[in-house]
Amino acid sequence: MTTTVSFAAQLHPEQMPEVASRGFRSVINNRPDFEHGPDQPPSAALEEAARNAGLSYVFQPVISGAISQFDVETFARHFQELPKPVLMFCRSGARSNNLYQMAVQLGLVDTAD
Protein backbone atom coordinates (compact mmCIF):
# COMPACT_ATOMS: atom_id res chain seq x y z
CA MET A 1 0.00 0.00 0.00
CA THR A 2 1.00 3.56 -0.71
CA THR A 3 -0.79 6.88 -0.38
CA THR A 4 -2.11 6.35 -3.92
CA VAL A 5 -3.26 2.71 -3.80
CA SER A 6 -4.71 0.17 -1.37
CA PHE A 7 -6.04 -3.36 -1.77
CA ALA A 8 -9.14 -5.05 -0.40
CA ALA A 9 -11.12 -8.26 -0.51
CA GLN A 10 -14.54 -8.40 -2.22
CA LEU A 11 -16.49 -5.19 -1.82
CA HIS A 12 -20.27 -4.90 -1.78
CA PRO A 13 -22.43 -2.05 -3.09
CA GLU A 14 -23.44 -0.92 0.40
CA GLN A 15 -19.74 -0.36 1.25
CA MET A 16 -19.12 2.26 -1.44
CA PRO A 17 -20.17 5.26 0.68
CA GLU A 18 -17.67 4.13 3.34
CA VAL A 19 -14.96 3.73 0.68
CA ALA A 20 -15.59 7.33 -0.38
CA SER A 21 -15.69 8.56 3.23
CA ARG A 22 -12.23 7.06 3.78
CA GLY A 23 -10.87 9.36 1.10
CA PHE A 24 -10.67 7.04 -1.88
CA ARG A 25 -11.55 8.63 -5.21
CA SER A 26 -11.52 5.55 -7.45
CA VAL A 27 -12.23 1.81 -7.32
CA ILE A 28 -10.83 -0.90 -9.60
CA ASN A 29 -12.65 -4.24 -9.56
CA ASN A 30 -10.31 -7.06 -10.66
CA ARG A 31 -12.75 -9.88 -9.96
CA PRO A 32 -14.69 -11.50 -12.83
CA ASP A 33 -18.45 -11.43 -12.36
CA PHE A 34 -19.83 -14.52 -10.61
CA GLU A 35 -16.38 -16.03 -10.06
CA HIS A 36 -17.71 -17.26 -6.73
CA GLY A 37 -21.26 -17.86 -7.87
CA PRO A 38 -24.53 -15.95 -7.69
CA ASP A 39 -23.94 -14.52 -4.20
CA GLN A 40 -21.09 -12.33 -5.50
CA PRO A 41 -22.34 -8.84 -6.39
CA PRO A 42 -22.12 -8.13 -10.13
CA SER A 43 -19.92 -5.36 -11.44
CA ALA A 44 -22.90 -3.35 -12.68
CA ALA A 45 -24.30 -3.08 -9.14
CA LEU A 46 -20.89 -2.16 -7.76
CA GLU A 47 -20.36 0.46 -10.44
CA GLU A 48 -23.73 2.08 -9.80
CA ALA A 49 -23.07 2.23 -6.06
CA ALA A 50 -19.55 3.58 -6.59
CA ARG A 51 -20.70 6.31 -8.94
CA ASN A 52 -23.56 7.22 -6.57
CA ALA A 53 -20.93 7.64 -3.85
CA GLY A 54 -18.91 9.97 -6.10
CA LEU A 55 -16.22 7.43 -6.99
CA SER A 56 -14.68 6.65 -10.36
CA TYR A 57 -15.03 2.94 -11.15
CA VAL A 58 -13.23 0.53 -13.48
CA PHE A 59 -14.13 -3.10 -14.05
CA GLN A 60 -11.01 -4.95 -15.14
CA PRO A 61 -11.56 -8.64 -14.45
CA VAL A 62 -8.35 -10.65 -14.17
CA ILE A 63 -8.11 -14.42 -13.83
CA SER A 64 -6.35 -15.43 -10.61
CA GLY A 65 -2.97 -17.01 -11.34
CA ALA A 66 -3.10 -16.01 -15.01
CA ILE A 67 -2.24 -12.30 -15.11
CA SER A 68 -1.04 -11.46 -18.62
CA GLN A 69 1.13 -8.66 -19.98
CA PHE A 70 -2.02 -7.25 -21.56
CA ASP A 71 -3.71 -7.22 -18.11
CA VAL A 72 -0.77 -5.35 -16.59
CA GLU A 73 -0.61 -2.77 -19.38
CA THR A 74 -4.38 -2.23 -19.31
CA PHE A 75 -4.31 -1.80 -15.53
CA ALA A 76 -1.42 0.68 -15.77
CA ARG A 77 -3.37 2.86 -18.23
CA HIS A 78 -6.40 2.88 -15.93
CA PHE A 79 -4.32 3.55 -12.84
CA GLN A 80 -2.44 6.46 -14.38
CA GLU A 81 -5.71 8.10 -15.50
CA LEU A 82 -7.86 7.58 -12.39
CA PRO A 83 -8.16 10.10 -9.56
CA LYS A 84 -6.08 8.98 -6.57
CA PRO A 85 -6.14 7.33 -4.13
CA VAL A 86 -7.38 4.12 -5.73
CA LEU A 87 -8.84 1.12 -3.91
CA MET A 88 -8.36 -2.11 -5.87
CA PHE A 89 -10.20 -5.28 -4.97
CA CYS A 90 -10.66 -8.93 -5.90
CA ARG A 91 -11.54 -12.02 -3.85
CA SER A 92 -8.81 -11.52 -1.25
CA GLY A 93 -6.87 -8.47 -2.46
CA ALA A 94 -3.84 -10.56 -3.48
CA ARG A 95 -4.61 -10.60 -7.21
CA SER A 96 -5.00 -6.81 -7.24
CA ASN A 97 -1.76 -6.40 -5.30
CA ASN A 98 0.05 -8.71 -7.74
CA LEU A 99 -1.27 -6.77 -10.70
CA TYR A 100 -0.05 -3.50 -9.19
CA GLN A 101 3.36 -4.94 -8.25
CA MET A 102 3.87 -6.29 -11.78
CA ALA A 103 3.09 -2.85 -13.21
CA VAL A 104 5.58 -1.27 -10.78
CA GLN A 105 8.28 -3.81 -11.74
CA LEU A 106 7.76 -2.98 -15.41
CA GLY A 107 7.92 0.75 -14.72
CA LEU A 108 4.37 1.29 -16.00
CA VAL A 109 2.97 3.19 -13.01
CA ASP A 110 4.17 6.24 -11.18
CA THR A 111 4.77 5.20 -7.58
CA ALA A 112 5.62 8.67 -6.27
CA ASP A 113 3.51 9.45 -3.24
Where do the structural domains in the chain lie, given as residue ranges? 5-105
* This prediction's pTM: 0.94
Model pLDDT, residue 36: 83
Query: What is 5-105's CATH topology?
Result: Protein-Tyrosine Phosphatase; Chain A (3.90.190)
pLDDT tens for 52-102 read: 999 999 999 999 889 999 999 999 999 999 999 999 999 999 999 999 999
Q: How far apart are CA 101 and CA 103, in angstroms?
A: 5
Q: What is the pLDDT of residues 11-31, one digit of tens each?
A: 999 999 999 999 999 999 999
pLDDT of residue 13: 98
The per-residue DSSP string of 65-94 comes to T---HHHHHHHHHHHHHSPSSEEEESSSSH
Taking the C-alpha atoms of residue 48 and residue 41, their distance in angstroms, rounded to an integer, is 12
Kindly give the residue spans of alpha helices, DSSP state H, lying in the chain. 16-21, 43-52, 69-81, 94-105
Judged by DSSP in three states, 52 sits in helix
